[in-house]
Amino acid sequence: MKDIALNTLRKKINKIDDKIISLLSERMNVVKSIGEEKAIIKHETLDTNRQKNVLKRWQNKAKKHNLSEDLIEKIYTFIHDHAVQLQKENHK
């Protein structure tokens, strides 16, 4: 019986993971579009003010959901760094 409960929970995790992957893909597609717009208007790839504001937004949401701000900062930083790199690669 315990295996059934564990398998059910693991299936839920898999569905959540699928959503996370889908959302990350969607986010990176928007990142590419932002990079294209930045290239057109000759805007710097990295916008540190935007970066700080988005991180603060993520941290505030983390608090509301009882998530570790440290965890959220690490995840956000990794995603953001990848997004900046993606924009740079696509607009050399």
Distance CA 54, CA 38 (A): 18
Per-residue pLDDT at 82 exceeds 90:
yes
Domain that holds residue 81: 2-90
Flag whether the pTM goes above 0.95: no
Phi-psi region of 43 (alpha: psi -120 to 50; beta: other; left: phi over 0): beta
Per-residue b or e along 24-58, where b marks 16 or more CB atoms closer than 10 Å to that residue's CB: eeeeeeebbebbeebeeeeeebeeeeebeeebeeb
Arithmetic mean of pLDDT, 23-27: 98
Structure letter (DSSP) for residue 91: T
Q: What is the CATH number of the domain that holds 23?
A: 1.20.59.10
31-66 pLDDT tens trace: 999 999 999 999 999 999 999 999 999 999 999 999
Predicted local distance difference test score (pLDDT) of residue 1: 63
| Encoded tokens for 91 | 């607009």
Domains in the chain: how many in total?
A: 1
13-24 pLDDT tens trace: 999 999 999 999
